[in-house]
Amino acid sequence: MSQVENRVALITGANRGIGFETAKELGAQGVRIVLAVRDLASGEDAAARLKALGVDASVVAYEAGKPGSAQLVAAYLEQHFGKLDILVNNAGVLKENLIGGNNSSQVEGQVLRDTFEVNFFAVIELTQALLPLIKRSPAGRIVNLSSILASLSLHSMPDSPIEQAKSVAYNTSKTALNAYTVHLAHELKDTGIKVNAAHPGWVKTELGGAQAPMEVDGSGKTSVQLAILDATGPTGGFFHDGETLPW
């Protein structure tokens, strides 16, 4: 039996894209997967595809920012598993053009609010609701799906490699998520729980677009690495495929 077999992982937005790949890769290692999805029909279809691969998969309804949704997820996990070992906060939204200019002076307030609701506030709400269950795990792991576009260091450097990607609502929501990652990791540093931020890469998903250089296949790699860290692994960091990224 592997070290991670029979651990329970909840992955938000896991019916497609990077979330589904993360579920598939974790499930292949014997982790029991719970897909937290807004659309139960698509979630059940994703679970069926995972089961066909031999993955222990189930589905729970979750809508980021909907009042009471996080508490219902916690109640489901309590009833069926009594704990949670891995939380992958994967769900996210982009309501701007990813590439092609700086919209800081024109971004609409509603776009900012809607983006932060899903990418930041809802992540905190769900994490707080599930922390009592994660604290029952001998090796709790929280993975927050961030983006290299959250990096203030890279955005502000001369000849920035991400100069053309200045979508202010999306980018700053992920910067805020990185800050929460650091703060929560500090609070939990004397426990067995590790909290890290992951940049999966620029992937050909509905959010990333067709121009992205990475295929969806294998895009869960960084999330999986952080989800199954051993006791000597890092906490409070920002990573892509084992490499530390600058804040």
φ, ψ (nearest 5 deg) of residue 79: -70, -40
141 vs 11: CA distance, rounded Å:
12
109 vs 122: CA distance, rounded Å:
18
Q: Which of 11-27 are b and which e, b meaning 16 or more Cβ less than 10 Å from the residue's Cβ?
A: bbbbbbbbbbbbbbbbb
Measured CA angle at 162 (ends 160, 166), to 5 deg? 115
Active site residue 170: yes
Residue among 12, 1, 38 at smallest CA distance from 144: 12
* Rg of the chain on CA atoms, in Å: 17
230 vs 247: CA distance, rounded Å:
24
β 238-240/243-244 pair status: antiparallel
Which is the catalytic residue, given 62, 76, 170, 180? Answer: 170
Q: How many residues does the chain have?
A: 247
Kindly state the DSSP code that residue 37 receives in the 8-state scheme. Answer: E
Chain centroid to Cα 219, Å, comes to 12
SS3 for 33? strand
Q: Which two three-digit tokens encode residue 10?
A: 């909840």
Strand partners, 142: 87, 195
- What is the set of active-site residues? 170
